[in-house]
Structure 1
């Protein structure tokens, strides 16, 4: 008889952390240090972890961490899957598969709209998660900046460490929440989230010492994983200021797919650019997710009018339309222009490649997809688990 799958409680905290540290061997042997917003000895956070026990000890565990994703006026519930692990002595016995089937059912039952997780693509494709979405990456050197901005005014912002001071936190909160797409970080969660993955937040001030934005750099300082300025010009100034620090000769800037204006600026002088998928995603509420992201894409840069009907294996048939009134996605009984399985349809809609590259030659009735997609599926590194 199979062992039951249970949700962990506060009294299991030390055992859970010891188990995760042993399985992942994280930097500093400190799983709570990597993700302090997820791993704390309180009931709500501990209940996020589903476990199978053998011989009185945790044998396998998987975490399901709730995230609120705001897309304009729409809020989507994301299930962030993390900490998927099995003790070495119990590997190869199907424990991870049991847990993944269980959490898939749990996320559906609990009303999540979509889910993401990291890890090897095919391993999780068996369970319905596919590598898709987009992150925009720009490699920028001091030489790029020196030539491109030659003759311009000096850098107009200065950077300083952010220590979580309450007044500063409340000053940057409107910048974070003012983004068209952002994950909720209520209360002190904003401060905690900025330090996830051992990354380092830096505060930007203008010449009048006013807060102009913030950035989060990787632990080694070589990547900007989150960048928010009061406008795109300020964000570029923050990048230039970061390049002037230390003996750093180059940085990589990662942006979400919604950062169209800033991406346009950086593409003008970056040495290298790339559009990549860094997470595995699965949709549960296709109509709700697609409508929110299609409307966001239309708001970021107006899309050409048109309509297309998609039949998705295991989901309702959907009509996507852009017209003078906006962008919509509704369930329909119309004949489909394109029929595909769920993983392939996710890649067609959310990238990182164009639909015609993913699907091959599109019928004339569906060619509008190349003008609309990829839709902006992707959240910042600091919100991943």
Structure 2
């Protein structure tokens, strides 16, 4: 009889086994996951990890890293799920399901987000939520769009001691992001596989590039149009790459620049989200929703929503948006369907949104987790 322990929170003693498991499951290099996703594999916080052990050895793992999503003028407590992995010989025993249920039962966050297969995680309540734009830039497409701005200062390599606070300030001006500590910023800007370039100016700019493949990716950027344009030119001048893909929020102020210099662009789902506390989620997005309702000149309206089997939330708009609980919701949907109404593509959930001018104007809600921040 095999002795099974867990799911349970990890301890510091479990970390060697966690690192070994996730490195073999994902990056195939020793220490790879800790170096590439430092926000997740931080040994100062073993309580962010859950494990299942057989005969004392870690055979299954899932992390749930606390995050604070900044969504314009609102903040939302969230957890990012990452590193979901099981030893090949232990698959089929339900360990992944046990770990997902373990974290969802400990729902100290209003929202859980993750990347991964939509069908695999859908049965636990996750659904596609949010959007990102992806701009593919080549040296040719960038050259075709060159303007007088090409004379801007050339980018240089990031220097941790000199540039950290400056880049932190630039990033903190982004209206959609995950809040960071200074230590988190330091680890992200210096993590394995990413090169950060900086343009010095009165308004500094930066670009974080993962170029381990010839199809390189910008995992984070910030600053001015002129500065970012100069950094794009620096990347193609200094790096041997075929293309550069930039992922941005759908509302980012620099999207016109990326559209101008790209060879092709697409829109794609951002992450999968699992709404655990509908009232808290809507309260965090209240300023964003109010701004949209004001722009669309929506008439006064009251509408209420609920996830099946849970308490309803009433939205009342009369020039300002108020949110309260209700026992008699107008619209009750399954967890995934309601996620689609709140966060899905404009075409998804549209039938339900059209039932309410308030919902149609205020949704889909917009958030963003930069590629550098994803666990």
Quickly name the TM-score band, shorter chain normalised. 0.7 to 0.9
TM-score by structure 2 length? 0.86
- 1:379 is paired with a residue whose SS is coil
1:112 CA displacement:
0.9
Matched residues in 2 for 1:90 and 1:61: separation? 12
Contact 1:155 1:241 in 2 (8 A): no
Question: Residue in 2 aligned with 1:252?
Answer: 245
* Structure 2: tracts of 5 or more residues without a match: none
Matches for 1:1-385 after TM superposition, within 5 Å:
3-27=5-29, 30-42=32-44, 45-106=45-106, 108=107, 111-150=108-147, 152-165=148-161, 167-196=162-191, 198-206=193-201, 210=202, 212-220=204-212, 222-229=216-223, 231-248=224-241, 250-259=243-252, 261-293=253-285, 295-296=287-288, 299=291, 303-306=295-298, 307=301, 308-320=303-315, 324-325=319-320, 327-332=321-326, 336=330, 338-351=331-344, 353-354=345-346, 357-359=347-349, 361-362=351-352, 365-367=355-357, 369-385=359-375
Matched residues in 2 for 1:219 and 1:27: separation? 17
- 2:337 is paired with a residue whose SS is helix
1:123 CA displacement:
1.1
Matched residues in 2 for 1:114 and 1:164: separation? 33
1:371 CA displacement:
4.0
Matched residues in 1 for 2:50 and 2:192: separation? 22
Mark the CA change 1:285 to 1:248 in structure 2 (over 3 Å): closer, same or farther.
same
Contact 1:155 1:240 in 2 (8 A): no
* Structure 1: tracts of 5 or more residues without a match: none
**Coordinate RMSD, CA, aligned:** 2.9
Residue correspondences, number: 368
Per-residue Cα deviation, 1:82-113 (whole angstroms, up to 9, x for no partner): 1111111211011111111111111x1xx212
Mark the CA change 1:195 to 1:268 in structure 2 (over 3 Å): closer, same or farther.
same
TM-score by structure 1 length? 0.84
1:323 CA displacement:
5.7
Structure 1 outlier segments of 4+, above 6 Å: none
1:316 CA displacement:
3.5
